[in-house]
C-alpha cells in the first residue's frame, strides 16, 4: 500500500538528501535560461546576427523545454528517478559542451536546444518527487525552496554571465557551467535513489509530434510579430500551432478513455490548477520579457558594461529567491489568494513604472529599487500559485500536473521573450528608418515593450481573485484495495 501524503511516517522517512540534490541540479540547469540575456549584445557583434536572431538562444532554450516537458508525464511513470536524473544532467552537460565549442550561431542554437531538453526533464522530476514525499500541510514551505530555483536562478543568470563577460567571451559562460554540471552528474550517479512507483505506460508518437507542432508553431509565430516581411510566415505558423494544439487535445481526450494519455488533461478539471496555470504563464511572460529587454536598455542606452549590468540586477535576483521559504510558510497559513492578488498588482505597477522612468539619465538607484520590488512581487506570485495549483490535484495526476505546469510556464516565458523583444526591435528599427538616432530609437522601443508587458500583467490581478483556498488534502486511493487513505 502506498503511504499517505499526510501519514506522519512519511515525513520521518522523507529522503531530504534526494530533494536537496535535485534542488542543486535544478538550480544549475534553470540558471541557463537567462545567462545569455546580458551576452546578447556581445553575441550579436561576435556572430554578426540581429537582435531578433540572437534572442533565439534564449527563446530556443525555452522552446525546447516546452516541447520536451510534456513527455515527462510519461517518463516519470515509466522510468526510475535515478534514470531520469542521469538523463537530464547528461543531456544538459552535453549541450553545455556543444555550446562552448560552437563554431557559429546555428551550432550554438542546436546546443541550446540540447541544454533545454535536459533542463525540461529536471523541473517536473523535482516537483513530482516533492509531491510524493512531502505532506500537503507542509508543501508550501518546501515549495518555497523550489521557488529559489524557479525564480532566483533565472534572475541571477544575467548577473553571473555579466561577471564572466567582464573577463572573457560569451563562450566562457558555458565553460564555467560545464564542470559544475558534470559534478552534479557524478554525485547523482553515486547518491541518487529511486522514489515513488513505476507503472507501464506506452509512449504515443502522435502526441509527441502534435505537441511539438502546437507549441513550436505558437512560439515561432510570436517571434515574427512586428516583422512586416514575415506576415505570411506568421499567419502560417499561428495556424499550424493552433491546429496542432487542438489535435493534441483531442488525441489526449481519446487516450484518456483507455487511461493511457500522453499528458492527462483531466488536470484542468481542478479549479486552482487551471487558474494557477494562467497566472504562471502571465508571470513568466513578464519575467522573461523584462529579463531580456532590461539588459539591452542598460547596455545600449545607458552605456553600462556587462559587469555593471549584472550587479545592478543582482539585488532583485537575491530578493526573489531568498524569500521563497518565508512566502511558502505564509502560504501554508493563509492560502494563495491573499498573497497573489497584491503581488500581481505590484508587479503590474512596477512594469508600468519602468515605462515612465527609463530615460537616458534615470538614477541607477531608482532602477535598482524598481527591479527589486518587481522581483519581490514575482516571488510572492510564483510560490503560492504553483503550490496551490499542484495541491489541487489527485495524487495520480501529480506527474501530469508537474509536466503541464512546466510546459505552459515555459510557453509563457518563450512568448514573453519572443513577443516583447520583437516589439522593442521593430519599434526601434522603424524609428531609425525615420531618422531617429539609435540610442533614442532603442529607448522608445524599450518604452513600447514595457507598456505592452504592463497591460498583459493587468490580467494577473483579476485572475488571482479566482484562486480558492484548499481546505482538504487530496485523497489517495490504495491501488490494491481501492480504499481511501488520508
Q: Is 406 within 8 Å of 65 (Cβ atoms)?
A: yes
Give the C-alpha distances (Å, rounded to integers) separating 190 from 82, 85, 125. 10, 12, 18
Q: Is 77 within 8 Å of 125 (Cβ atoms)?
A: no
Q: Say what the pLDDT of residue 34 is.
A: 72
Q: For residues 160 and 36, what is the distance between their CA atoms, to the nearest angstrom?
A: 10
Q: Say what the pLDDT of residue 199 is.
A: 65
- Residue 476 three-state SS: strand
DSSP characters for 327-364? HHHHHHHH-SHHHHHHHHHHHHHHHHHHHHH-STT--H
Can you state the angle between helices 337-357 and 364-391, rounded to 10 degrees? 150
Torsion of the alpha carbons at 183, 291, 420 and 383, rounded to the nearest 10: 80
434, three cell numbers: 525615420
pTM for this entry: 0.75
Q: Say what the pLDDT of residue 164 is.
A: 85
Give the C-alpha distances (Å, rounded to integers) separating 27 from 108, 122, 135, 208, 321. 22, 10, 23, 27, 11
Which candidate, 170, 164, 25, 168, places its Cα nearest to that of 99? 170
Q: Say what the pLDDT of residue 147 is.
A: 73
Q: Is 403 within 8 Å of 73 (Cβ atoms)?
A: yes
- Residue 120 three-state SS: helix
pLDDT tens digits in sequence order for the chain, 486 residues long:
333 334 443 444 445 677 888 888 888 888 877 777 778 778 888 888 877 778 788 778 777 877 788 888 778 878 888 889 999 999 999 999 999 998 888 899 999 999 989 988 888 888 888 887 777 777 777 777 777 777 677 767 777 887 888 788 888 999 999 999 999 999 988 888 777 666 666 778 898 899 888 877 877 777 666 566 667 888 888 899 899 999 999 998 998 888 788 888 899 999 999 999 999 888 888 777 677 788 888 888 888 877 787 778 778 877 877 787 788 888 888 888 999 999 999 999 999 998 888 888 889 899 999 999 998 898 898 888 988 888 888 888 888 888 888 778 777 776 777 778 788 888 888 888 888 888 888 888 888 888 988 898 899 999 999 988 764 444 443 333 333 333
- Residue 477 three-state SS: strand
Which candidate, 70, 395, 69, places its Cα nearest to that of 249? 70
Q: Say what the pLDDT of residue 479 is.
A: 38
Amino acid at each position: 500500500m502506498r503511504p499517505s501524503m499526510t501519514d506522519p511516517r512519511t515525513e520521518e522517512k522523507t529522503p531530504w538528501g534526494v530533494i536537496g540534490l535535485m534542488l542543486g541540479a535544478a538550480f544549475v540547469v534553470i540558471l541557463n535560461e537567462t545567462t545569455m540575456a546580458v551576452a546578447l549584445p556581445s553575441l550579436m557583434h561576435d556572430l554578426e546576427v540581429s537582435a531578433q536572431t540572437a534572442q533565439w538562444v534564449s527563446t530556443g532554450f525555452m522552446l525546447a523545454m516546452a516541447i520536451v516537458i510534456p513527455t515527462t508525464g510519461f517518463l516519470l511513470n515509466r522510468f526510475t528517478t535515478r534514470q531520469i536524473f542521469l538523463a537530464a544532467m547528461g543531456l544538459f552537460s552535453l549541450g553545455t559542451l556543444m555550446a562552448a565549442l560552437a563554431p557559429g550561431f546555428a551550432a550554438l542554437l542546436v546546443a541550446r536546444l540540447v541544454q533545454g531538453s535536459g533542463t525540461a526533464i529536471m523541473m517536473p522530476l523535482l516537483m513530482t518527487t516533492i509531491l510524493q514525499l512531502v505532506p500537503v500541510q507542509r508543501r508550501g514551505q518546501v515549495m518555497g525552496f523550489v521557488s529559489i530555483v524557479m525564480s532566483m536562478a533565472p534572475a541571477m543568470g544575467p548577473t553571473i554571465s555579466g561577471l564572466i563577460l567582464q573577463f572573457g567571451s560569451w563562450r566562457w559562460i558555458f565553460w564555467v557551467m560545464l564542470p559544475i554540471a558534470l559534478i552534479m552528474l557524478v554525485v547523482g550517479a553515486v547518491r541518487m535513489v529511486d522514489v515513488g512507483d513505476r507503472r507501464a505506460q506506452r509512449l504515443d508518437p502522435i502526441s509527441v509530434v502534435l505537441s511539438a507542432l502546437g507549441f513550436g508553431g505558437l512560439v515561432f509565430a510570436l517571434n515574427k510579430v512586428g516583422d512586416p516581411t514575415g506576415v505570411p510566415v506568421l499567419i502560417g505558423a499561428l495556424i499550424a500551432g493552433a491546429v496542432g494544439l487542438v489535435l493534441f487535445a483531442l488525441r489526449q481526450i481519446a487516450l484518456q478513455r483507455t487511461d493511457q494519455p500522453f499528458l492527462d488533461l483531466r488536470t484542468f478539471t481542478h479549479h486552482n490548477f487551471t487558474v494557477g496555470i494562467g497566472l504562471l504563464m502571465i508571470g513568466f511572460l513578464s519575467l522573461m520579457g523584462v529579463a531580456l529587454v532590461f539588459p539591452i536598455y542598460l547596455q545600449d542606452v545607458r552605456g553600462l558594461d556587462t559587469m555593471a549590468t549584472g550587479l545592478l540586477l543582482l539585488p532583485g535576483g537575491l530578493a526573489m529567491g531568498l524569500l521563497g521559504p518565508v512566502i511558502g510558510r505564509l502560504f501554508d497559513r493563509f492560502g494563495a489568494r491573499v498573497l497573489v492578488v497584491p503581488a500581481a498588482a505590484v508587479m503590474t505597477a512596477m512594469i508600468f513604472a519602468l515605462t515612465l522612468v527609463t530615460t537616458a539619465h534615470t538614477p541607477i538607484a531608482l532602477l535598482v529599487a524598481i527591479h527589486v520590488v518587481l522581483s519581490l512581487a514575482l516571488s510572492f506570485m510564483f510560490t503560492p500559485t504553483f503550490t496551490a495549483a499542484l495541491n489541487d490535484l489527485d495524487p495520480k495526476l501529480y506527474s501530469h500536473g508537474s509536466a503541464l505546469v512546466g510546459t505552459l510556464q515555459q510557453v509563457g516565458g518563450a512568448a514573453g521573450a519572443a513577443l516583447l523583444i520583437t516589439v522593442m526591435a521593430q519599434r526601434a528599427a522603424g524609428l531609425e528608418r525615420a531618422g531617429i538616432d539609435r540610442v533614442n530609437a532603442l529607448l522608445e522601443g524599450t518604452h513600447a515593450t514595457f507598456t505592452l508587458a504592463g497591460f498583459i500583467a493587468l490580467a494577473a490581478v483579476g485572475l488571482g481573485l479566482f484562486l480558492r483556498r484548499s481546505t482538504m488534502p487530496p485523497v489517495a486511493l490504495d491501488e490494491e484495495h481501492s480504499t481511501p487513505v488520508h
